[in-house]
Amino acid sequence: AVKEFLNWADTRGLRADEILPAPESTLLEYAATFTGRLVGGTVRAKISAIKTWHTSHCWKGGDLLCKVLTKVERKAPMSSRRPERPGVSDDMMMIPH
């Protein structure tokens, strides 16, 4: 995920001081690029990897980044969603006993 972030930053022409530590605006832009392409959990995992990489420096993510991640999650393609599973019935609860 970090390598992917660095490649993305390179294609944007960002300098090293603009990506380490990355300002929240850069992280917002990066996260938003996945809108409609990936599920929110995948994007959160990518941001988490970047956060781990940044931890020894200075993490710049904040509330706005959390909001963007939520929006990305809501715009995930329908093909990435599974149908809701049926609830657990009383009979199912008796099986372990």
| Residues 6 or more apart whose Cβ sits within 8 Å of residue 6 | 19
Contact partners, residue 54, CB within 8 Å, separation at least 6: 20, 21, 22, 60
Q: Is pLDDT at 81 greater than 90 in this prediction?
A: no
Higher pLDDT, 56 or 95: 95
* pLDDT at residue 57, rounded to an integer: 58
* Residue 75 pLDDT greater than 60, yes or no: yes
Give residue 35's pLDDT: 92
Determine the pLDDT at residue 58: 57
What would the pLDDT profile of 7-56 be if each residue is shown by its tens digit? 999 999 998 878 877 888 899 999 999 999 898 889 999 999 988 887 75
